[in-house]
Amino acid sequence: MGNGSDELCPDGYRLSPENPLRDEHHAINAYLSQLATKPPHEWRYNYPVESEMGRVLLSKPPDVKVKFVVALLDRMNYLDSVNEATAYYSTDYQLSMLKAILGSKLPFSEQYLLQMLDGMILQKRQFYAVFLVQKAMVRQIECFLKENKASHELRVRLHDYISVHLDSWEIADARKLAKKIRIMLGDLQEFTIEPGEAWTDLMLADLKAMESTQKTAWQSLIEHAFTIKSCEPSGKWMAEAGKRRSGVGDAAFSPMVLRWFSSVESTKSDTMSEGNADLLKGLIWYCSSIDQADVASVIGNVALALFKKIPGLGPRSAKAGNACIHVLSRLPGLAPVAQLSRLQLKTKYSKVHVLINTALEVAARRAGMTRADLEEIAVPTFGLEGRGVLREDLGEYVAEIRVTPTAGTEFLWLGENGKKQKSVPAAVRENFSEEIASLKRVTRDIENMLSVQRDRIECLFLAQRSWLYPLWRERYLDHPLLGQFTRRLIWHFEAGGKSGLAIMTEDGLQDAEGRSVCWESDNTRVRLWHPVGFDVSTVRQWRVYLEEKQISQPFKQAHRELYIVTDAELATRNYSNRFAAHILRQHQFNALCRQRGWKYQLQGAFDSFNTPIRELPEWDLRAEFWVESVPADDQMSETGIYLYLSTDQVRFVNLHGEPLPLSEIPALAFTEIMRDVDLFVGVCSIGNDPVWRDQGDARIGTNYWQRYSFGDLSAHAETRKEVMTRLLPRFTIADRCHVDGRFFVVRGDLRTYKIHLGSGNILMEPNDQYLCIVTDRSTGRVGAEKVFLPFEGDQMLSIILSKAFLLARDARITDKTILRQIKT
């Protein structure tokens, strides 16, 4: 690595006597020596001015600074080659000096440019401080190429640099820098529609098919769309956009652009190029003044597609997605509000949620009402009428979209004789292709909105919303989309000092005994019923009513788990350990937190402390669920995120962050928060994983897996047990099954099986041998027949039933993996 005549520098660099930049290296030595008493602990930009020698170097003539750039890069690469791990932390001084020197225009010759590129190509590190230096370096190259033509050697070197550093670095700024260099070299036009994404492929095909005048107008519009740079365009940009849109014609603009937007969801690639993202962002802003019913829906779908998380990379395009939110906040009418509410529940990023919250608050103030009222009146009908039916005449047939009783959708075709068919009639397919595509899009939008609205209505438990009867009827019962939920839920009515519970049926309101009741008064106040505080007999009556009438609720209401403060929690006073000492899958936990309205960020090697919180503004409270990462180098994702968490306390704090006694927490707030935490454990625990015993990490939780898989039942599992006990006589396999403590026991022809009602894991009699069956996670089934359940959303219950039906007929099982275990 050197010889005896080499000079050893303060940072370990060996300076040979023949080095042509000896003077520059000696100056760098002096700079480093003066900073030796300040060991670097993080990247800082001001190192060069913290020493007298650093200031001297920065005052050198520009042509001398060029030599310092080459010397610094040579020095850093040498240190990397000797000890990469040490060099990672020991070259902050050199990096900060490089950035400072490259901050002003320098008179680089091609020879020194090539040496600088060689030095940068050899850099092994990919972190942002190095990237900032690279950006400054590219600015120097740009200045050179404005006055000089790139030689073949320089072109080759720049392409090598792009290949080694920028193409392999999956960050947006690296892609921008690569594009900038290619434009500088003339390899790429500044405004280029890049093929390979479904929407740009469609755009290019449409442009190719246009006649000359029309194509020129569209190209002018597209060129301007590329030029948007800020998150919100200037008035000047918008004025120019208006002119170019007029050149295309409003009648032609909307259907064409919305057609392109509709293809963003079906892209062929995960990532979106920077240029295409800029173009899409500009086109989205072109739509900000269009008062057209379907614009908001299409832009909402585009936003969801753009905020889709790509593993290891983040959202497909945050900047184009943010543009969707800004534009939705500007569009007139209530349809954009519904899309913002939908995005709030469906997107995964905290920064996006802040943006959406701001947009919704602004819209509510503009409308002069609360945000909750605004979100309720903004729920779209999609043209549905009555009990959720949309009909459209297409030639001799009628297309019918119907919201089903369980809040799904059904798309049918009716002939002249009223006969129904599910396949598209040939005559319709030939003559109404665009209408068919539009109806299919409406069907998808209805299904998406039904999912969002179900979650929103469940949040009404904690929101404590109530309405006068006429308003409730208008916003919920008679709403063609929400009515299917409303008629399957139990409501609390109050008027004239009296109160009661009822559900809407074909014969009007009924109580739990099936008697007609009358609450239809303008003065009646209505709210969603929660069973907390009601006697056991009332709750049981409603459960029986639902089961007898075969009413499946959209979420657990009558069967909702209740959590009361225990003696142990009164003893600990300010916190609960009820759900401590569990091991959860972190990514699944993070997703469920978002779904349930909790704030949480993934923990990794860079940030291993983060407490999930749920704001409770109705009570000026905040709930906290303490979790800790389970650190292990071989148990983290490729992006450095830990795979597992361990659970600890649940606390409630006031607005000042002070913990409160659990005995003072309102019963409704306590039970709903504890239910969420129980759900987190029940869904995300490694104890639910049937293959963990054989494939999991023994260091993390083998003993825990055994305890959880076959241990005591949680409140969720107790509800499951009660439901299965009551529904069991209706099963076709009832004579082969019974409930025994923690287990649902199934007698097959080959063996008897015990399915744990909490984890769904299986033991086989007579020796409690473990049986591993992996279900299809997308359906929760391994072959079960369809059975009635009094509520939706309990995937574990579906999994247990599917296993039970499979094992009751174990003699028919053909899966060799399962059979081998049974017969062992």
Asked if residues 290 and 254 have their Cβ atoms less than 8 Å apart, the reply is yes
422 and 362, same structural domain?
Answer: no
Least confident span in 402-411, 516-525, 576-585: 402-411
- The whole-number pLDDT of residue 269 equals 62
Q: Tokens 């009223």 label which residue?
A: 418
Q: Is residue 558 part of a domain?
A: no
769-771/508-510 β-pairing: unpaired
Asked if pLDDT for residue 84 goes beyond 60, the answer is: no
Q: What is the mean pLDDT of residues 155-167?
A: 83
Residue 203, classed as helix, strand or coil, is helix
Q: Tokens 């829906």 label which residue?
A: 297
Give 346-364 pLDDT, tens digit per residue. Answer: 887 878 888 998 999 988 8
Asked if residues 609 and 670 have their Cβ atoms less than 8 Å apart, the reply is no
Q: Is residue 341 part of a domain?
A: yes
- How wide is the angle at C-alpha 265 spanned by C-alphas 264 and 271, nearest 5°? 70
d(CA 46, CA 207): 51
136 and 266, same structural domain?
Answer: no
Burial of 429 (0-12, 13-18, 19+ CB in 10 A): exposed
- How wide is the angle at C-alpha 782 spanned by C-alphas 779 and 783, nearest 5°? 100
Give 373-407 pLDDT, tens digit per residue. Answer: 999 999 989 889 988 999 999 988 999 999 988 77
Kindly report the backbone phi and psi dihedral angles of residue 769, in degrees, each rounded to the nearest multiple of 5, phi listed first. -70, 135
Residue with the larger pLDDT of the pair 39 and 774: 774
Other CB atoms within 10 Å distance of the CB of residue 54 = 23
Give 183-196 pLDDT, tens digit per residue. Answer: 788 776 656 788 88
- The whole-number pLDDT of residue 779 equals 43
Q: Is residue 629 part of a domain?
A: yes
Give 24-49 pLDDT, tens digit per residue. Answer: 999 988 888 887 766 554 445 566 77
Which residue type occupies 661? P
Question: CB under 8 Å to 195, separation ≥6 — which residues?
Answer: 201, 204
- The whole-number pLDDT of residue 782 equals 41
Two tokens, residue 310 = 């790509």
d(CA 128, CA 121): 16
| DSSP secondary structure letter of residue 143 | H
138 and 36, same structural domain?
Answer: yes
Query: Within 509-639, where are the H helices?
Result: 536-549, 567-572, 586-595
Q: How far is CA 458 from CA 287, 406, 452, 486, 596, in A?
A: 33, 15, 10, 11, 10
d(CA 632, CA 625): 22
532 and 620, same structural domain?
Answer: no
91 and 25, same structural domain?
Answer: yes
Q: Is residue 421 part of a domain?
A: yes
At 531, the pLDDT band (50, 70, 90 cuts) reads very high
Two tokens, residue 519 = 């609450």
Two tokens, residue 773 = 């069956």
Q: Tokens 């000890």 label which residue?
A: 83
Q: How far is CA 609 from CA 212, 222, 583, 598, 601, in A?
A: 60, 46, 16, 16, 9
Kindly report the backbone phi and psi dihedral angles of residue 251, in degrees, each rounded to the nearest multiple of 5, phi listed first. -65, -30
Q: Is residue 698 part of a domain?
A: no
Two tokens, residue 240 = 């120019």
At 764, the pLDDT band (50, 70, 90 cuts) reads very high
- The whole-number pLDDT of residue 688 equals 78
CA neighbor of 22 nearest in space, from 70, 55, 60: 70
The last residue of a domain, from among 663, 684, 705: 684
Q: Is residue 226 part of a domain?
A: yes
Asked if residues 301 and 262 have their Cβ atoms less than 8 Å apart, the reply is yes
Q: Tokens 């990469």 label which residue?
A: 84
Terminal Cα-to-Cα distance of the chain (whole angstroms): 63
Give 675-695 pLDDT, tens digit per residue. Answer: 999 999 988 998 877 776 655
Give 170-181 pLDDT, tens digit per residue. Answer: 666 777 788 788
469 and 418, same structural domain?
Answer: no
142 and 84, same structural domain?
Answer: yes
Q: Tokens 């403590």 label which residue?
A: 741
Q: What is the mean pLDDT of residues 497-518?
A: 95
Give 446-481 pLDDT, tens digit per residue. Answer: 998 999 899 999 999 999 899 999 999 999 999 999
450 and 468, same structural domain?
Answer: no
The last residue of a domain, from among 644, 667, 684: 684
Which residue type occupies 69? V
d(CA 587, CA 605): 15
Question: CB under 8 Å to 351, separation ≥6 — which residues?
Answer: none
Q: Is residue 336 part of a domain?
A: yes
68 and 57, same structural domain?
Answer: yes
**Could you give the maximum distance between any two Cα atoms of the chain, in Å?**
103
d(CA 48, CA 72): 13
Q: How far is CA 743 from CA 137, 688, 713, 761, 762, in A?
A: 67, 15, 10, 10, 9
Q: Domain containing 526: what range?
A: 459-549
Q: How far is CA 813 from CA 308, 360, 588, 622, in A?
A: 39, 54, 31, 50
Domain count for the chain, please give it: 6
Q: Is residue 189 part of a domain?
A: no
Q: Tokens 């599992």 label which residue?
A: 717
Question: CB under 8 Å to 365, separation ≥6 — which residues?
Answer: none
At 50, the pLDDT band (50, 70, 90 cuts) reads confident
Burial of 694 (0-12, 13-18, 19+ CB in 10 A): exposed
CATH number (domain holding residue 628):
3.30.310
pLDDT cut 90: percent of the chain above it: 51
d(CA 739, CA 729): 12
| DSSP secondary structure letter of residue 781 | B
178 and 210, same structural domain?
Answer: no
What sign has the CA pseudo-torsion 716, 717, 722, 725? Answer: positive
Residue 27, classed as helix, strand or coil, is helix
Question: CB under 8 Å to 401, separation ≥6 — which residues?
Answer: 384, 389, 390, 409, 410, 411, 439, 442, 443, 446
316 and 250, same structural domain?
Answer: yes
577 and 542, same structural domain?
Answer: no
